[in-house]
Structure 1
Amino acid sequence: MAATWTQVWTPVHEPGGSTEEEEHLRGWVSNTDEAEDVKEQLQVAECITFVGDRKGKGFGNGILHLQNPDGKLIHMPRVRFSDIKDNVVSADSVPFAIVSRYSLRCMYGKDKNQAAKRKNEELAEKAMKEDHPLPRKRKYRRLQGSKKKGCPAMIEMKEVIRFTDYDTNDDSGMSKRAISDHIRADLRNGDKFNFERRIYIRLPSKTDHQSVHTLGKLTGFMNPMHKTVSTKLVDLVGHGVTNLNEMKRHLRAHLHTVLFPDVEKRPSITDTAFYPSDNTIRQRMYAARMQLRIMAEAGEKETHDQFEKRFSTLVIHGFVSLSTSLGIQSGLFEALIKLKDEERTVKEIADTAGLKERYVQEWLGVMVAADIVDINPETEKYSLPPHRIPFFQPGSSVSDLGVLLTELPTFGGLYKKLLDCLKKDGPQGLSYSEYTDFHAMMSNLSGRWVLHHLVQDFIPSMPQIEEQMKSGIRILDLGCGRGLASLVFAENYPNSTVVGLDFSEEAINYGKERAKEKGLTNVEFVCEDAACIPDDWNNTIDYIYTFDVIHDLAHADKVLLALNRILKPDGVFSMIDTDCKTKHSENASNALCSLMYTVSLFHCLPISLFFEGSVGLGTCWGREKATELLKDAGFRVDSITKPVGTDEAHYMCTKKVK
């Protein structure tokens, strides 16, 4: 069976040829997310955890961590043509510089306390040979036992900047020195040139492990657990249970209601076969995920019963989601939050929400059955536990899921119209006007991240841009909607000028009113089609920001060309958009992608296809398609990262050097 990580990375091909095993153990990726994916897939395949050993400063930031806020190099990297020391980086004709390293050791690796333990044993033996074998004061420390076995297996990662403009086939030392001097001079002078960022990875072979410990399915299965409990755990993992506390609650409920409903016959709580430890449950959950992964890779067919369970869960969750959305929009969750986590009757909850008691009683039945609201069986009173409150609280800094649920009624109202769009003789798409309160909903959906992460985490992740904003630059918030991000930029960077651009007159007027209320004079809102930005904007924008905008646009290709035209030669374009793959096959079994495809089917795709000549990208256009369109528009994608606080992808782009 082929190694799964080879689908993520590009295997290294040496000029003299590489064996199949070498191609499975050496390769390169473009960013830290893909490097983490390779590590995770290796861990699942071998049932072994790798822990960080040494991580270089700024690993994952490319050449940026070598620069100060002015863009000047803090220290000069060494230009290389081969990786002489440990042969992680492949040798070809392109010169490169290693800017950072990261190594991870096997969980059974080197015991750092081995020397101290040996010394303790010698002191203990010496004490026992003396006249008083039990000394009054022990002269050695008692060190905790360790699972370390001295396993030499390591994952080696090296972050590399390849200077693709200086490719050479001349292997002479004189030619290499000349190219190296040329590159260093360009770096020193701050000249712009093309470079490629890669993270090379070398994985350990199985023989590196097996000299000291075993690998495979048996790892993590050594703790005793009763077969019925183990079977239920695997079944729950297959149904998506990943949280330890949730798993413990389900297992205990299964034990008390199915296996031992009679209290007198239940095993003792100290019996680890039925009440396993947290560590044992974690190990079994990890092993179950690995087992399911192996089954999927082996192409084992799903049985009728397995699909029936999975499909029934899907249908149940769909209906529960409708009731949850009703609870958010009717104010029932708000009432439960006001009552804090104290137990209340149906009447008290209904009166607090100002709703009819009988309907509230039925809604609470849904919430109790779905384990969202707790009930005391002795008093029949209800409460919302504190750890669940943030998910339903307006303006929560924790999650957007509650806001996303409120989209369901909107989608349901358009169901029949969307059904007509699917027909060959039906309309091409749906107008924005069909979606009532669209801009309010989008503002609420992005509001959590904008208010809690935009200037707190995202902008500081680009130190050079942050310094420029503080000094004063021209910022464009494309597809600004009601202007929340534009107002945040204007408030936090008063020396900069912010332009919020959107084609919706209602949204633009709302933004203008909010700016007037706040007394902001450094922000302006413009109602304009992004594909038709006038020529007098050319080379006037220092920084362009978009959040979940480009995939909605009917003529996204033309808009990207316009953005490249108005961006200054040294400007930066931050495109934040959904993070997924372009091919359906690469998004298979991805729950988040199934959600985003649904949002696309009911909203993003219809509003895009409504316009003549639409490219019809859809929400899940994917990294590959996004990168292709950006490059076609004249942008260079310098990095793709995940901003703090969101599952989106940040495409940091600059203009290509002509």
Structure 2
Amino acid sequence: MAFVSEPRDLAQIVRDGLGALVFAFGYKTGIVDAFGEVEQPCTAEELSQKAGKKLRYIQEWLGSMVATGIVTMTEDGKYSLPHDKSVINMWGHASTLFPIFCELFPKLEEATSQDGPSGYPSYNPFLQWVDLCRSAETLKTWNEMFLVPFMKLKPGDAFTILDLGCGFGKHSREVAKLYPNSKIFAIDMDERSIEHAKKEISTCGPNNIEYLCTKGGNLPKEWTEKFDFVIINDVLHDSYEVDDILKETKRVLKADGYAAAYDPPISSYHLKIVQDVLAQFYLPCSFFHCLPVSSMGPSGEGLGIGWGYERKKQKIEEHGFRVIQVGDKDVNTIQEGIVFQKLLKRKGSNS
């Protein structure tokens, strides 16, 4: 039987991983920031002084970075970091996942054992890492790409909106600012996250948002047909109660309301992710965090990011929703968001 892909050089993959780990150390401890501030090309001594680190360690760090190809050298032995600042910050922050995942190694080792626990709860350092990804500029870009086209499905700008699984509340606050005439209800099951979110709006606002600590699968009874829009951002693949969440979403949506679930755009099928750069990034995150967290339910059946677009779309449709196209991509094309609405009942039908 023919194989659909050729294996990559395993030795080089491991070498690159080790180099990325050293780069992560430099980013996390300020060496990379110092590199950006010192005049380049620079000597090891100049970088050592700027970073406030011992020279011998800076020399070894630079050697590793030169060998990996992240840092370049001149003929007279000086060093440069020839990458755009935005690229350095993006992938520097991404690289700081390495120490977080190293801390989770023992927990994951237990969870993967046949007689071990089904998974483990959300790990706060990872949640904080995700929150740092959501800068004001990043959220602005995301809203322009996804939220605004979604909200244009209904006329006007005075809506009742549910942010289901809001985390620390940073995105829901941006939504509230973007739609000041709307009322936003933001919920999360993690009490620490909600307390943090409440503290933020108590000092900085906005005033058109309300936070509540509750499960997405157990929303207040009085919320039946309350919402024009339900936003489920980066939630379903982490959840062990997807069926309950979708049932509740259906209950609290108005008849003419819309919901949208956003998750990493990964296929459910491994044959479709061969050499997929997004899968190369997101599936390791899922292996260490999303899958164990989503395995904590009574059934122990984990979803994780590997659950994928196709199976998520199928699950949404099984709950009596119609998936609709927003933007240029067909609903059967793998993408970050799935927008859906309740199927309208036919006259004389009880279903």
Please report the TM-score for the alignment, with normalisation by the length of structure 1: 0.49
Residue 79 of structure 2: which of 378, 382, 406 is its match? 382
User: 1:354 and 2:52 equivalent?
Assistant: yes
2:349 corresponding residue in structure 1: none
2:43 corresponding residue in structure 1: 345
Q: Which AA in structure 1 matches 2:78?
A: K
1:588 corresponding residue in structure 2: 274
Deviations 1:494-538 (A, max 9, x none): 111111111111111111122122232101111111111122111
Deviations 1:102-155 (A, max 9, x none): xxxxxxxxxxxxxxxxxxxxxxxxxxxxxxxxxxxxxxxxxxxxxxxxxxxxxx
Q: Distance in 1 between matches of 2:163 and 2:143?
A: 14
What runs of 5+ residues in structure 2 fail to find an aligned partner?
346-351
- Segments of 4+ moved more than 4 angstroms: 297-302, 640-643
Per the alignment, in what secondary structure is the counterpart of residue 498 of structure 1?
strand
Q: Distance in 2 between matches of 1:419 and 1:449?
A: 37
Q: Distance in 2 between matches of 1:300 and 1:436?
A: 39
Structure 1, 583-592 or 603-612: larger mean CA deviation: 583-592
| 1:537-552 paired onto structure 2 within 5 Å | 537-552=223-238
1:405 corresponding residue in structure 2: 95
- Aligned-pair identity (%): 30
Per the alignment, in what secondary structure is the counterpart of residue 211 of structure 2?
strand
Post-superposition shift, 1:547? 2.0
Residue 145 of structure 2: which of 453, 457, 465 is its match? 457
Distance 1:449 1:637, change over 3 A: farther
RMSD of aligned alpha carbons: 2.4
User: 1:418 and 2:108 equivalent?
Assistant: yes
Aligned residues: 341
2:217 corresponding residue in structure 1: 531
Per the alignment, in what secondary structure is the counterpart of residue 569 of structure 1?
strand
Any conservation in 1 of the 2:100–2:125 contact (CA below 8 Å)? no
Q: Distance in 1 between matches of 2:271 and 2:186?
A: 37
User: 1:326 and 2:18 equivalent?
Assistant: no
Distance 1:559 1:301, change over 3 A: closer
Post-superposition shift, 1:449? 6.7
User: 1:505 and 2:202 equivalent?
Assistant: no
Q: Distance in 2 between matches of 1:331 and 1:550?
A: 35
Post-superposition shift, 1:604? 0.6
Structure 1, 409-418 or 456-465: larger mean CA deviation: 456-465
| 1:9-88 paired onto structure 2 within 5 Å | none
Per the alignment, in what secondary structure is the counterpart of residue 531 of structure 1?
coil
Residue 368 of structure 1: which of 66, 77, 92 is its match? 66
Q: Distance in 2 between matches of 1:300 and 1:558?
A: 38
Distance 1:460 1:623, change over 3 A: same
Post-superposition shift, 1:648? 5.3
Q: Which AA in structure 2 matches 1:381?
A: K
Deviations 1:306-334 (A, max 9, x none): x5x61112111211121121111111111
Q: Distance in 2 between matches of 1:402 and 1:526?
A: 34
Any conservation in 2 of the 1:376–1:382 contact (CA below 8 Å)? yes
1:487 corresponding residue in structure 2: 173
Q: Distance in 1 between matches of 2:187 and 2:72?
A: 46
Q: Which AA in structure 2 matches 1:382?
A: Y
Q: Which AA in structure 1 matches 2:233?
A: F
Q: Distance in 2 between matches of 1:591 and 1:576?
A: 19
Post-superposition shift, 1:631? 0.9
Residue 574 of structure 1: which of 248, 260, 276 is its match? 260
Post-superposition shift, 1:351? 2.3
Residue 476 of structure 1: which of 162, 166, 176 is its match? 162
Post-superposition shift, 1:429? 0.8
Any conservation in 1 of the 2:282–2:305 contact (CA below 8 Å)? yes
Post-superposition shift, 1:586? 2.4
Q: Distance in 2 between matches of 1:464 and 1:641?
A: 11
| 1:240-279 paired onto structure 2 within 5 Å | none
Q: Which AA in structure 2 matches 1:421?
A: A
Post-superposition shift, 1:475? 1.1
Q: Distance in 2 between matches of 1:618 and 1:640?
A: 25
Any conservation in 2 of the 1:555–1:614 contact (CA below 8 Å)? no
User: 1:391 and 2:78 equivalent?
Assistant: no
Post-superposition shift, 1:298? 6.8
Deviations 1:67-121 (A, max 9, x none): xxxxxxxxxxxxxxxxxxxxxxxxxxxxxxxxxxxxxxxxxxxxxxxxxxxxxxx
User: 1:444 and 2:132 equivalent?
Assistant: yes
Deviations 1:191-247 (A, max 9, x none): xxxxxxxxxxxxxxxxxxxxxxxxxxxxxxxxxxxxxxxxxxxxxxxxxxxxxxxxx
Q: Distance in 2 between matches of 1:642 and 1:649?
A: 13
User: 1:602 and 2:288 equivalent?
Assistant: yes
Any conservation in 2 of the 1:641–1:650 contact (CA below 8 Å)? no
Any conservation in 1 of the 2:321–2:342 contact (CA below 8 Å)? yes
Per the alignment, in what secondary structure is the counterpart of residue 84 of structure 2?
helix
Q: Distance in 2 between matches of 1:571 and 1:336?
A: 51
Any conservation in 1 of the 2:182–2:208 contact (CA below 8 Å)? yes
Q: Which AA in structure 1 matches 2:84?
A: R
Post-superposition shift, 1:641? 6.1
Post-superposition shift, 1:464? 2.4
2:10 corresponding residue in structure 1: 311
Q: Which AA in structure 2 matches 1:651?
A: I
Distance 1:345 1:537, change over 3 A: same
RCO higher in structure (CA 8 A, sep ≥6): 2
1:5 corresponding residue in structure 2: none
Per the alignment, in what secondary structure is the counterpart of residue 532 of structure 1?
coil
Deviations 1:368-421 (A, max 9, x none): 12221222121x222222x4321223xxxxx4x333221111111121221121
Distance 1:299 1:377, change over 3 A: same
Any conservation in 1 of the 2:150–2:326 contact (CA below 8 Å)? no
Q: Distance in 2 between matches of 1:519 and 1:421?
A: 41
Per the alignment, in what secondary structure is the counterpart of residue 119 of structure 2?
coil
Q: Which AA in structure 2 matches 1:409?
A: P
Q: Distance in 2 between matches of 1:514 and 1:520?
A: 9
Residue 246 of structure 2: which of 553, 560, 573 is its match? 560
Q: Distance in 2 between matches of 1:477 and 1:301?
A: 41
Q: Distance in 2 between matches of 1:466 and 1:384?
A: 48
What runs of 5+ residues in structure 1 fail to find an aligned partner?
1-296, 394-398
